[in-house]
Amino acid sequence: MDANIQTKPDPDTETGDCCGCCGPEPAKLTVATEPAIRLLVDRFYAKVREDAELGPVFDRAIADWDPHLATMRDFWSSIMLTSGRYHGNPVAAHPRIEGITPELFERWLALFAATCGELFDADLTASFMDKARRIAASLQIALFYRPENDRPRSAP
């Protein structure tokens, strides 16, 4: 792991659950840093691309993954480190995505949570997930909310 990434032992791997044949599990990251964000983004989107539900949607939307990954690293750097590197508009970008549905946000969050849990300790995972849930909720409102659906229907 990168020397700039702070870690602590994962208590789940110190319980003797493993037979020991594979060596110790890597320590989980405890601090959000640029290298930690890069690792998260790269690992998460590798999972997205392989996912049966999300993969096809992302494959249709993203022709060149390198710029998208760089944008996502900038985005999460701005969110978690307040770096100011991201200058895009996620709400404007997402309506153009063919096949995006409210249900896919739950799948996205599940994969994101799993990836965070693999890499980060519980506190850092919770911090990323708090932001991710808020972002997902905001995007869902922007993409799918229709105020006319909130009006009570008149009685027949």
Tell me what pLDDT residue 102 has.
Answer: 84
Of the candidates 50, 45, 15, 41, which has an alpha carbon nearest to the alpha carbon of residue 120?
41
Domains belonging to the chain, first-starting first, are: 30-144 (1.10.490.10)
Helical packing angle, 54-61 and 34-50, nearest 10° = 110
What is the pTM for the complete model shown?
0.77
* pLDDT tens-digit readout, 1-20: 444 555 555 454 444 445 55
The pLDDT of residue 22 = 61
Complete DSSP assignment for 107-135: HHHHHHHHHHHHHB-HHHHHHHHHHHHHH
Residue 64 pLDDT greater than 50, yes or no: yes
What is the dihedral sign for C-alpha 69, 73, 79, 85?
Answer: negative
Q: What is the pLDDT of residues 22-60, one digit of tens each?
A: 666 678 999 999 999 999 999 999 999 999 999 999 998
Question: What confidence tens digit (pLDDT) does each residue in 107-125 have?
Answer: 999 999 999 999 999 999 9
- Is the pLDDT at 155 greater than 80, yes or no? no
E strands in 25-121: 28-29
Whether the per-residue pLDDT at 76 is higher than 90: the answer is yes
Q: What pLDDT shows up at residue 134?
A: 96
**pLDDT tier at 100 (50, 70, 90 boundaries)?**
confident
Q: What per-residue confidence (pLDDT) applies to 91?
A: 72
Distance separating alpha carbons of residues 92 and 143, to the nearest angstrom: 9
